[in-house]
Structure 1
C-alpha cells in the first residue's frame, strides 16, 4: 500500500509550503457498519523509548509485545481517527507500526487500516541553550523546550481512515509562551519581581507547547472536522514556582482561546506565521492527554475546566467499569479523591496522585455525541491482560473515545 510520505508532509509544513495529501488508498471499512457514527479517540500508548532510534528498531519486526498490545487495543476499539501520544518523532516508525502491527490481526482482533497519518516535530528534547530549571547548569531534558532526552521523545502521531487535509494543517510548535496575553509565566518565589522564573532572554525563546499543538482538518464525507491535538506537560516535577503547572494550564488554555476564534484568538500564530483561531461554526474535536483532572491531582485549579465548561464545547463523559474497580482495589490516594473513578483514564501511583481523569476527546457543540467509552476492562474480562497493573503490559493510560454524528 502506497501512502503519502509522512516526513514530506512535516517538512513542507515546517517550511511554510502547502501540500494536499495524495494517498491513493481508500479508507478501511468501518467495522461498525455503513452510516454509523464516526469514532474519534486518544491513546497515550507509552510507545516512547529511552534512546533515539529505538522505536524504529522495536517496530521493525512484528514481535514487540508492547507494540502488539497497543495495536490490539486500537483494533478492539476500532476508531476512525486516533491520536497516539508518547510516540517518538520518527517518521519511519509511523509506517512500521502500521505495516507490522495495526494491519496484522492481534490475538484474534481484526486488522485495521489507516491510509492516512500525520506526524511532525515535537519540542521535547530540543535543547534551549538555557538553564531553564535554574540548577546552575545547562544540560539534560529539563533544559529542553519540552522535557526529553533526545529531540522528539514523547511525540505524537495521528492515524485516520479519512483523508487528512495536510495542506491546510496548522502546527504551533514555535508559538512563544510570552505571546499569550495574561500568560501564567512562573514566578521565582525567592525574588520580589513577578513572573521572573525565566529571564527576559529565556522568555524571548521559550515555547508554550511542551510537545506541539496541531490543527488537522479531517475530510469526513462532505464535512471537515478539525482534529485539535496536543499533550500538555504534567503539572509536576518542579518546585514552588510551579513552572510545569502553569505551563500545563496555558497549554490547555490555548485550545480554549483557539476554538473561540475572533478577538480572543487574534494573538495566536502558527508555524507559518498565520494568525487567528477557528472560524465561527467550525466543527472540531479536541483530543489528547491533557494531564489535568477536574477534581484531583496537582494541576492548577480549574485548568481543564477551561475546556469542559467552554460554551462551544459539547459534553463528553466517557466511563469504564475497570476504573472504579481499580480505585477500590488499589486504595491509597484514590480513597480520598473527589472525582468519580468511572471517569479515570490513567492508573498512576497509588500513594500520589492516584488514578486520574487526564485523557479527553471533546467535540464541538454542534457535533452530536451518540456514544463514548474508556478502554479499561475489569479484572474478570479476558481483555484485562491489555491493561493490567504496574508494571503495565501496555500503558498506564487508557484509550478514550467518542462516537459522533
Structure 2
C-alpha cells in the first residue's frame, strides 16, 4: 500500500537578475545590491526545497550561482546543490538572424543576449541532483521538434537558418532530483517572449513550439518517458487567456492528463505596464503526486516584477 512522506516544496522564480555584461551579477551579489537582497529575502521567505531560477546570468564556473547560494545560507536557507548549463541566450550563431547586415548582435544569438550566458537558468536544491541523469534538449533544432509549426510558416524560419537555429530561447532541461522519497524529475524551461517581432510572428511561433516540445515529450514522441513522477516548471511567457502568444499549446499543457495545475486559483504572476497582470510562471506536478498546498510570493518590485510560485507535493512510498 502507498504511504505518504514529508512535503517537498518546488518553486519557480524569474529573478530579473540578468545584467548587461559578464561578471556584473557576481559583483552585485558580493556587494549586496538592494535587488539581490530583495530576491534573497523572497526566496528565503518561500523556503523551497528546490527552485528553478530564470533570468539569472550563467558563468562557466558557476561563481554567481555559488555566491547566491552562500547569501541564502547566511539568511538561513541551505540549498547546497547547484545545477546550470550554458543557455542558448547570447550563444552566437554566426549568422545575421535579424537581417541588419551585421553578425554578432544580441538578436543574432540562439536566444537574445548581449553576451553568452545572459539571462540563463539555474537550479538550487536542498537534495542531491543527479547530474549524470540530466537530459538537455536545448540544442535541438527548431525544425526537428515533433509537431513544430514555426518552420512551416512563410518567413518565420528561412531555410538558410534551419540548419542552425535551435528551438530553445534559453533552455529545456530534464533534471532528476534525489529527494528522500525517491527520484523526482524536473522539466525546467524559460520560453521566449511571443513579442518583439514583425508580422511574420516569429517569436509567437517560437514560444508556441517551445511549449510543443514538452507536449511531444509527454506524449511519447521524443523517445523514452521520464522515469517516475515529474514536475514541469518555469516561465512560459504565455498566459492562457491574456496577451500575445498562441494559446493552444499553453492550454494543452495546463490540461494535459499527465499534469495538474494547483496554482490556477492564484491568478497572475507578473504585472507588465503594457499588458497589466498576466499568468506566465508555472509549477505543474505529475497527477501521481499528492499536492499539499500551493501559492506565490507577495509582490516585491525591488526584487522582480515576477512572483515566486510554489507547490508542496508528496511522493507515495510503497512499503
TM-score range relative to shorter protein? over 0.9
Which residue in the other structure is 2:296 paired with? 374
Task: Choose the corresponding residue for 1:118, options 83, 90, 94.
Answer: 83
Equivalent-residue separation in structure 1 for 2:11 and 2:91 (angstroms): 28
Q: CA RMSD in A?
A: 1.7
Equivalent-residue separation in structure 2 for 1:260 and 1:183 (angstroms): 14
Q: Is residue 343 of structure 1 aligned with residue 267 of structure 2?
A: yes
Which residue in the other structure is 1:146 paired with? 111
Which residue in the other structure is 1:85 paired with? 54
Q: Is residue 198 of structure 1 aligned with residue 144 of structure 2?
A: no
* Equivalent residues of 1:217, 1:225 under 8 A apart: yes
**Higher Rg of the two aligned structures:** 1
> What are the within-5 Å matches in structure 2 for residues 28-107 of structure 1?
35-61=5-31, 63-90=32-59, 91-99=62-70, 101-105=71-75
Which residue in the other structure is 1:358 paired with? 280
Structure with higher strand content: 2
Q: How far does the alpha carbon of each residue in 1:6-25 deviate from its partner, in whole angstroms, 9 at most, with x for none? A: xxxxxxxxxxxxxxxxxxxx
TM-score under structure 1 length normalisation:
0.73
Which residue in the other structure is 1:210 paired with? 169
The 3-state SS of whatever aligns with 2:171 is coil
Equivalent-residue separation in structure 2 for 1:129 and 1:66 (angstroms): 34
Which residue in the other structure is 1:17 paired with? none
The 3-state SS of whatever aligns with 2:292 is strand
Q: How far does the alpha carbon of each residue in 1:89-123 deviate from its partner, in whole angstroms, 9 at most, with x for none? A: 02111111111x20122xxxxx1001211011001
* Equivalent residues of 1:172, 1:214 under 8 A apart: yes
* Equivalent residues of 1:252, 1:306 under 8 A apart: no
* Equivalent residues of 1:347, 1:397 under 8 A apart: yes
> What are the within-5 Å matches in structure 2 for residues 161-176 of structure 1?
161-176=126-141
The 3-state SS of whatever aligns with 2:249 is coil
The unaligned stretches of length 5 or more in structure 1 are 1-33, 106-110, 188-193, 266-275, 320-341, 378-386
* Equivalent residues of 2:157, 2:202 under 8 A apart: no
Once the 2 structures are TM-superposed, how far is the Cα of residue 255 of structure 1 from its aligned partner?
1.2
> Cα gap change, 1:167/1:186 in structure 2, threshold over 3 Å: closer, same or farther?
closer
TM-score under structure 2 length normalisation:
0.92
Which residue in the other structure is 1:287 paired with? 233
> Cα gap change, 1:55/1:373 in structure 2, threshold over 3 Å: closer, same or farther?
same
Once the 2 structures are TM-superposed, how far is the Cα of residue 197 of structure 1 from its aligned partner?
3.5
How many residue pairs match? The answer is 309
Equivalent-residue separation in structure 2 for 1:46 and 1:403 (angstroms): 24
The 3-state SS of whatever aligns with 2:64 is helix
Which residue in the other structure is 1:24 paired with? none
Task: Choose the corresponding residue for 1:238, options 167, 178, 197.
Answer: 197
Equivalent-residue separation in structure 2 for 1:115 and 1:153 (angstroms): 23
The 3-state SS of whatever aligns with 1:73 is helix
* Equivalent residues of 1:118, 1:157 under 8 A apart: yes
Once the 2 structures are TM-superposed, how far is the Cα of residue 186 of structure 1 from its aligned partner?
5.5
The 3-state SS of whatever aligns with 2:69 is helix
* Equivalent residues of 2:58, 2:120 under 8 A apart: yes
Once the 2 structures are TM-superposed, how far is the Cα of residue 35 of structure 1 from its aligned partner?
5.0
* Equivalent residues of 2:156, 2:201 under 8 A apart: no
Equivalent-residue separation in structure 1 for 2:5 and 2:150 (angstroms): 47
RCO (CA 8 Å, sep 6+): is it higher in 1 or 2?
A: 2
Equivalent-residue separation in structure 2 for 1:293 and 1:73 (angstroms): 23
